[in-house]
Structure 1
Amino acid sequence: MHAKKMQQKVEDAVLNAYETMYRIAYTYVKNEEDALDIVQESAYKAIRNCEQVKKERYIQTWICRIVINTSMDFLRKTQREFPIEELYEVNEPGITDQYEDFDMTKALNTLTERERAVVILRYFEDKKLEDIAYILNANLSTVKSLLYRSLKKLKLEMVEGELQYEG
């Protein structure tokens, strides 16, 4: 694809994915200003490196991967540590809390970071398994087994949580 045409496609995709980019960044950094900075930096990286996109259909997935990598780089640089309870909670005013079910949030927090990422990308961000594999730089079969294992853990955690409320 012609470089200018691809750049325009990437720019359009960045504009269309802005909210998703922000949600992903905020999920990692838990700070509105930092998340906005990450979105801006990720958009810049995507547009600057648009020639790396091999196929047009992977633009959105490629952008998500950039946001996750930029978020992780930010956390490494700032060496921030968050309690596991804070991971994947969205409490910013004006943002719809996709994870507001306390039991689900608590259950998600029992998963490893990679397991949690697979579940969130699949069920909260509606990503295809192939896209998740690309975003996480993992084999498709690895993503499938991670998802299966994660759902099994979530089910067990939710059942145990229900028993605690009844008992």
Structure 2
Amino acid sequence: MEEAELARKAIGGDENSFTILIQSKRERLYRMAYTYVRNREDALEVVQETVYRAFLAVHKLQQPQYFNTWLTKIAINSALDFVRKSKKVVYAEPGAEGSYEPNHNEEAMDLREALGSLDEKSRTAIMLRYFEDMQLKDIADVLDTPLSSVKSIIYRGLERLKIKLEESESIG
């Protein structure tokens, strides 16, 4: 069954359709959460909170074709809320555990560290664009930001990433 049809049924109260949709998105939700909280247990907690919030609010979703964008927005907000509440400083941890384990080669560690140095909006926009392969318009919807601003945020974020990676290359 098509995602929009499942979303339409979930909005109408069909718990089975909601479950199918969530199951198809669970790994992506976990990867996104892990990027923010950097450990398995916290990422699982963020995913759980995301699913809970989505379940409570799915009847409010007006356009089923935007289920993915809507769920992504809930996941990002859940992750950011978790980080704020726990007042943790999020660093890229080379020894982080989990079923999603990023490559531990030097370039990947440098990239995670450089991403961690970006502001929330830049990091989120770049992650959604390049790790989740989202369209710019969908990123604008998730961030509640005009499309032109999203383009600028990504451009400036990539410039800062480039500088950070060049600095770490010259040090190493």
Q: TM-score range by the shorter chain?
A: 0.7 to 0.9
Query: How many Å separate the matches in 1 of 2:14 and 2:148?
Result: 30
Q: Relative to structure 1, is the Cα distance of residues 9 and 93 closer, same or farther in structure 2, using a 3 angstrom cutoff?
A: closer
Q: Are positions 1:106 and 2:113 aligned together?
A: yes
Query: How many Å separate the matches in 1 of 2:131 and 2:73?
Result: 16
Q: Are positions 1:47 and 2:52 aligned together?
A: no
Alpha-carbon distance, 1:18 to partner: 0.3
66-75 or 141-150, larger mean C-alpha shift: 66-75
Alignment partner of 2:88: what SS?
Answer: coil
Q: Are positions 1:94 and 2:99 aligned together?
A: yes
Alpha-carbon distance, 1:143 to partner: 0.7
User: Where does residue 77 of structure 2 map in the other structure?
Assistant: 69
The amino acid across from 2:49 in the alignment is E
The amino acid across from 2:25 in the alignment is A
17-26 or 46-55, larger mean C-alpha shift: 46-55
Q: Relative to structure 1, is the Cα distance of residues 148 and 90 closer, same or farther in structure 2, using a 3 angstrom cutoff?
A: farther
Alpha-carbon distance, 1:98 to partner: 5.9
Normalised by the length of structure 2, the TM-score is 0.77
Q: Relative to structure 1, is the Cα distance of residues 53 and 94 closer, same or farther in structure 2, using a 3 angstrom cutoff?
A: same
C-alpha contact 2:136 2:147 (8 A) present in aligned 1: yes
Query: How many Å separate the matches in 2 of 1:154 and 1:103?
Result: 10
Number of matched pairs: 162
Matches within 5 A, 1:6-85: 9-78=17-86, 80-83=87-90, 85=91
Sequence identity, in percent?
A: 36
Alpha-carbon distance, 1:27 to partner: 2.1
Give ranges in structure 2 of 5+ residues lacking alignment.
Answer: 1-7
C-alpha contact 2:12 2:59 (8 A) present in aligned 1: no
Alignment partner of 1:92: what SS?
Answer: coil
C-alpha contact 1:90 1:98 (8 A) present in aligned 2: no
Alpha-carbon distance, 1:13 to partner: 2.1
C-alpha contact 1:13 1:60 (8 A) present in aligned 2: no
Give ranges in structure 1 of 5+ residues lacking alignment.
Answer: none
C-alpha contact 1:22 1:39 (8 A) present in aligned 2: yes
Query: How many Å separate the matches in 1 of 2:61 and 2:95?
Result: 30
Q: Are positions 1:130 and 2:149 aligned together?
A: no
Deviations 1:18-55 (CA, angstroms, capped at 9, x unpaired): 01111222222233223222212211221221122222
